[in-house]
């Protein structure tokens, strides 16, 4: 397995992994439950630069030239700047306003979502991607990384704690209370 930076041509490969990770959240954003519309919405953003879901903020895991997972991570200090194009796309495509709570903030690189091919789950791929992100951002770039975890997902929380993340608080996103975890470089 290799992990590489995404390119714009990867948009169609990335969108299904984002849908796996964000399903209900994307439906909330677009105001409907159409997987086709939600996937098209994500592809529209992924192929563009300078937004939360841009290919610029994505890493892909490949096995034998097949994408098996995707991770989306960006600088929390840039949230508003990266969110503005998302809001404009939602307005133009779905005629909806977009003003969610802030899921991140300055001082962390935010892991927005990680999705693993369902046929590849349980093989440690998610753990490898998280370890890659920890190595890349915390150890190589000396940054703090953060993520949110649903309180109804104790397995994910267990994985994050095992990897070294620590609970630092709570956040609300699309009306749901989530735990905020961070991984900081220990000096």
With contact defined as beta carbons under 8 Å apart, do 142 and 78 qualify? no
Residue extents of the structural domains in the chain: 2-183
How much is the pTM? Answer: 0.96
Q: Is 122 left (phi over 0), alpha (psi -120 to 50) or beta?
A: left
Question: pLDDT value at position 186?
Answer: 81
Distance CA 73, CA 18 (A): 12
Distance CA 139, CA 186 (A): 10
Owner of token pair 């939602």: 90
88 φ, ψ to 5°?
-65, -40
Write out pLDDT tens, residues 113-166.
Answer: 999 999 999 999 999 999 999 999 999 999 999 999 998 889 999 999 999 999
Structure tokens at 175: 């009306």
pLDDT at 187 over 80: no
**Whose CA is closest to 183, among 134, 127, 124, 128?**
134
Average pLDDT over residues 95-112: 95
Write out pLDDT tens, residues 17-70.
Answer: 999 999 889 999 999 999 999 999 999 999 999 999 999 999 999 999 899 999
With contact defined as beta carbons under 8 Å apart, do 144 and 75 qualify? no
From the options 3.40.630.30, 3.20.20.370, 3.30.450.40, 3.30.300.30, give the CATH code of 2-183: 3.40.630.30
Structure tokens at 77: 């200090």
Helix (H, G, I), strand (E, B) or coil at 51: coil
């Amino acid at each position: 397995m290799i992990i590489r930076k995404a390119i714009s041509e990867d948009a169609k490969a990335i969108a299904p992994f984002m849908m796996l990770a964000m399903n209900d959240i994307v439906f909330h954003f677009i105001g409907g439950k159409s997987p086709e519309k939600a996937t098209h919405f994500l592809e529209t953003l992924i192929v563009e630069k300078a937004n939360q879901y841009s290919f610029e903020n994505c890493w892909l895991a490949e096995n034998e030239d097949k994408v098996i997972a995707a991770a989306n991570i960006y600088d929390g200090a840039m949230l508003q700047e990266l969110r503005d194009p998302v809001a404009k796309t939602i307005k133009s495509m779905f005629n909806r306003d977009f003003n969610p709570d802030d899921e991140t903030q300055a001082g962390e690189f935010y892991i927005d979502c990680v999705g693993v091919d369902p046929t590849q789950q349980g093989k440690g791929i998610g753990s490898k991607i998280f370890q890659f992100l920890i190595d890349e951002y915390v150890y190589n770039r000396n940054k703090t990384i953060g993520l949110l975890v649903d309180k109804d997902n104790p397995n994910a929380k267990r994985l994050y704690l095992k990897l070294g993340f620590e609970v630092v608080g709570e956040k609300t996103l699309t009306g749901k209370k989530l735990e905020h975890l961070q991984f900081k470089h220990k000096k």
